[in-house]
Amino acid sequence: MAEGDDGLAARHRMLQPVLPQDISSLARALLTVPAQERRGFCAVLFDHAALAARHVAETGQLHCLWGNGTLDAAARHFPLAKEPLWDDPTYLSCLIIVLHELQRRLSL
């Protein structure tokens, strides 16, 4: 974290590259929770990944819960639904939630 950064800004910064597998894993995790909880759960998963990424950067070791700092590792700590096809409207809505959160965090 650069000198002068506040905790909130650092909390939202993406510290690891985001791959298609990250988006898919998060969407699959969201499928396992009720629709009204998905946005909040998505934000929590992003926070867990950021926490782990900072831990890895500072210690050189995996975070004991959230892994290597990728979104995929954070999502895989929770149950994942079997990956549906892209013509599944519920899966598409979960993908959109994840992409909106990614866009929001990248714009901070």
**pLDDT of 97 strictly over 70:** yes
CA distance 39 to 59: 30
pLDDT of residue 9: 42
Q: Residue 17: which of 76, 73, 91 has the closest Cα?
A: 73
List C-alpha distances in Å: 86 to 29, 93, 94: 16, 10, 11
List C-alpha distances in Å: 90 to 55, 76, 102: 34, 19, 19
pLDDT of residue 98: 98
Per-residue pLDDT tens digits for 3-55: 344 444 444 456 778 999 999 999 999 999 999 999 999 999 999 999 999 99
> How large is the average pLDDT for residues 50-72?
90
